[in-house]
Amino acid sequence: MADLRPDPASEPESVFPQEVGLFADSYSEKSRFSFCGHVLSITQNFGSRLGVAARVWDAAGPLPLQSPQPWHTFHAGHGLSSASSKELLVKLRRKTGYSFVNCKKALEACGGDLQQAESWLHEKAQKEGWSKAAKLHGRKTKEGLIGLLQEGNSTVLVEVNCETDFVARNLKFQQLVQQVALGTMLHCQSLKDQVSTYSKGFLNSSELSELPFGPERKGSLKDQLALAIGKLGENMTLKRAAWVKVPNGFYVGSYVHGTMHSPSLHNLVLGKYGALVICEISEWKANLEELGRRLGQHVVGMAPLSVGSLDDEPGGETETKMLSQPYLLDPSITLGQYVQPQGVSVVDFVRFECGEEGEAAEAE
């Protein structure tokens, strides 16, 4: 008997656009059934971008009364049953966040071994990320986020840039900023403590990129950067970082403008501007946190270039000196006049503005 099944090449295309690339996010199953003298072709498309599974039905023409037995095809991979492959596919997708298409490829390539498939995906993603990073290199990255992280006596401020504010609001980009902040914090905490005074340091883009990633210190931050570029499709840069460590008798005030808190790390704060203000204190006071926040606000808003001294006269060349500037929240007095009765001495500060160029960015 002649094969009456329709030629696959003549079947209508899915109503969903085919996605190409490592991070495509759909997969499909095809089935054919005999029904009332017709061959029915069903295509089911799955993926988070599609929202729901969809069926595309195609009537392929009449069949004789003695039609072939219904047959079903599912591309489940080598050596895997349909049910088990679906279960593994869902697990791998949830664990890694990669597309269904590529999770399926990974399981097929690794014979259904979940752990090997996860490693396969990470390797492929990193290769594609580096390839995409090379193609996007040179495109301007003026958007992004400042990240502020404080743990014990250590505080870090980092800047990560991207091309658009749309990507800066993406959770995957914010997770990259979080990874950079954690890497910088581990670097800061590995340094020897100063007993009598504070210590401060800066990392440029190349130094930041080479920092180890994560508590197990496997890989580097530049590897995480490549993965993020591969996923989000924009050029990105790890621009800079600053760190401060203080002994007893010192306090670090902080402020981030345009604040958004990291979803998975409660003490990481994200925004467009950030400031650290290092103060020497005679005793711990209940209002130190609020005082530090107001000093940070002043640094962000007034953009001083140096601390200066309480003896500086307001105006003239001292306008860029922090203590002689009009206090941001009460311009009738200078910042020095606001600070003096509080029992603290401002000794240093750091200010980051996302996307800034020239002298201000290079001063560190």
Q: Determine the Cα–Cα distance for residues 232 and 147; give it in Å rounded to an integer.
A: 19
Give pLDDT, residue 76: 42
Q: How many residues does the chain have?
A: 364
- From the CB of residue 333, how many other CB atoms can be counted at a distance below 10 Å? 14
| Full pLDDT tens readout for the chain, 364 residues | 445 444 444 444 333 233 334 444 444 555 565 555 555 565 555 444 433 333 333 333 444 444 444 433 334 444 445 666 777 888 877 777 666 777 887 788 887 788 887 777 777 766 666 556 566 667 788 999 999 999 999 999 999 999 999 999 998 999 999 999 999 999 999 988 877 899 999 999 999 999 988 766 677 898 888 888 888 888 899 999 999 999 999 999 999 998 877 667 667 899 999 999 999 998 888 889 999 999 999 999 999 999 999 888 887 777 899 999 999 999 999 999 999 999 899 999 999 999 998 555 554 5
> Which residue in the block uniquely carries the two structure tokens 């209002």?
287
Q: Determine the Cα–Cα distance for residues 340 and 317; give it in Å rounded to an integer.
A: 22
Give the CA count within 13 Å in the CB-facing half-sphere of 127: 8
CA 135 to chain CA centroid, Å, is 20
Q: Determine the Cα–Cα distance for residues 281 and 69; give it in Å rounded to an integer.
A: 86
Give pLDDT, residue 77: 43
Identify whether the C-beta of residue 60 lies closer than 8 Å to the C-beta of residue 40: yes
Tokens of 255: 């402020």
Tokens of 359: 């002298």
Q: Which candidate, 130, 133, 145, places its Cα nearest to that of 239?
A: 145
Q: Determine the Cα–Cα distance for residues 276 and 156; give it in Å rounded to an integer.
A: 9
3-class SS string, the chain: CCCCCCCHHHCCCCCCCCCCCCCCCCEEEEEEEEECCEEEEEEEEECCCCCCCEEEEEEEEECCCCCCCCEECCCCCCCCCHHHHHHHHHHHHHHHCCCHHHHHHHHHHCCCCHHHHHHHHHHHHHHHHHHHHHHHCCCCCCEEEEEEEEECCEEEEEEEEECCHHHHCCHHHHHHHHHHHHHHHHHHHCCCCCCCCCEEEEECHHHHHCCECCCCCCCEHHHHHHHHHHHHCCCCEEEEEEEEECCCCEEEEEEEECCEECCCCCCEEEECEEEEEEEEECCCCCCHHHHHHHHHHHHHHHCCCECCCCCCCCCHHHHHEHHHCEECCEEEEEHHHHHHHHCEEEEEEEEEECCCCCHHHHCC
Phi/psi at 281 (5° precision): -125, 150
Give pLDDT, residue 213: 80
Give pLDDT, residue 25: 46
Q: Determine the Cα–Cα distance for residues 209 and 349; give it in Å rounded to an integer.
A: 24
* Angle between helix 100-109 and 114-136 (nearest 10): 120
Q: What CA–CA distances, in Å, run from 364 to 50, 112, 240, 244, 270?
A: 47, 51, 9, 13, 20
Q: What is the pTM of this model?
A: 0.65
Give pLDDT, residue 131: 58
Give pLDDT, residue 11: 41
